Each structure stands twice: as structure tokens, then as C-alpha cells.
Amino acid sequence: MKKVILSVIVLGTLSSCVVSTAAKVVKTAGKVAVGTVKTTARSIGWTVNKVNGKINENRLDGKWKVTGQYKGNFEQFASQSDPVNEFSCDAGNEVYEFKMKKEKLFHYDCGNTEPQKYKIKYSFEKNSETKEHENMITYGPSYFTIIDVTGDKLALEGYFVEENGSKVKSICLLEKTK
């Protein structure tokens, strides 16, 4: 009789653990899926995950070539099924080079060989526009937020696109160069 009671208690405990673990897996998968946007804009593959928490800023080091720009913030981008790629550069490449230890940014505008040099400051702080904590880079007259950074892709949100002579909130997609 003791063996039967013990078996029932052990089985009840194990089944409770399995249900609890399964619930945690579903909850985590749901959180990950909320911040991911995957789409194609004029043959540029966009897969953007909104980063939760502070990133290691050293992952930004190196040269990044602009491959796409989308006019609008991340929420507007996420709601589009086929966003328009606003980026065009016929004279070569547009490149951002980060040297995080020296707190420097070099921006090679479309086809230029002479960079614009900026002193930058990385921070993880509350963005006054979105009221959320974000990874931010402050430089010269402005700032941008880091939406996502992987080994070879970088997504930034800032004022990269011009419309009628004024800068518009936009997303910039970059790929690491050698």
C-alpha cells in the first residue's frame, strides 16, 4: 500500500513539473516572437529582432556597409508587409565604422573616401521619445538606437532618411564588411 501511495505522489509531482516546464517554454517562445520582424524589401532580406536589455557595445566594432533604409520607426516597420527600401547609392558604398574603445564613429557618406568623424557615447538609458530603456549612441548633433546586432548584421533606428529637406525617423540596416 505504501508503494502505491508513494508512486501516486511521485507521478503527480513529475506531471506537475512537466506542465510547468512546458508553460515556461511557450511563454518564452511568445516573448521572442513578439520582437521579431522578417520581411523582404526590394530584394533586401530584413530580419530584425528588437533587443531586450543591454548589449555588449564591442560587438559594434568594425566597418558596416548600409544595405537598406526604411522610413518610419520600428513599430511602423513591423506593421508593414512589404516596406520600401529608401536607400540608394550609385557612387559606391555608404559605410559606418565604429571604434568603441576610442569612442569614435567614422561615417563614409555615399562614395566618399574622406569620413565624417564623430565622438560617440554609448549608453543604455530611457529614450525620451519611446519612454523605454534602449541601447543608444549619442554623436555630434544627434543620436540613434541600436535595435539589433548580430555577427554580421546591424539594425539602427534614428534620423537617416531625408524628406523635403528634413530628417525623418528611420531604420538603417547594415552588414559587416571586411
The total number of residues shown for the chain amounts to 178
Burial group, residue 64, by CB count within 10 angstroms (0-12, 13-18, 19+): buried
| 68 and 55 in a common domain | yes
Supply the pLDDT for residue 6: 59
SS3 93: coil
Q: What are phi and psi of 159, to 5 degrees?
A: -110, 80
| 133 and 60 in a common domain | yes
Give the CATH number, domain containing residue 137: 2.40.128
| 169 and 138 in a common domain | yes
In this prediction the pTM is 0.70
Please check whether residue 142 is in contact with residue 120, taking contact to mean a CB–CB distance below 8 angstroms.
no
Burial group, residue 47, by CB count within 10 angstroms (0-12, 13-18, 19+): middle
| 6 and 27 in a common domain | yes
What does the block give as the cell for 70? 526604411
pLDDT > 80? residue 48? no
pLDDT digits (tens, 9 = 90+) for 114-159: 999 999 999 999 988 888 899 999 997 789 999 988 889 999 999 9
Q: pLDDT exceeding 90 applies to what percent of the chain?
A: 38
pLDDT digits (tens, 9 = 90+) for 49-68: 778 889 999 999 999 999 98
Supply the pLDDT for residue 82: 78
**In whole angstroms, what is the distance from residue 139 CA to residue 105 CA?**
8
| 127 and 64 in a common domain | yes
Range of the domain at 13: 1-34
| 85 and 61 in a common domain | yes
Residues 6+ apart with CB under 8 A from 108: 93, 94, 95, 96, 97, 114, 115, 116
| 82 and 166 in a common domain | yes
| 55 and 25 in a common domain | no
Please check whether residue 155 is in contact with residue 41, taking contact to mean a CB–CB distance below 8 angstroms.
no
pLDDT > 60? residue 41? no
| 13 and 66 in a common domain | no
> Per the structure, how many domains does the chain have?
2
**Closest of 146, 154, 151, 159 to residue 174, by C-alpha:** 154
| 117 and 64 in a common domain | yes
| 92 and 28 in a common domain | no
What distances in angstroms separate CA 39 from CA 34, 80, 115, one per listed residue? 14, 9, 31
| 45 and 25 in a common domain | no
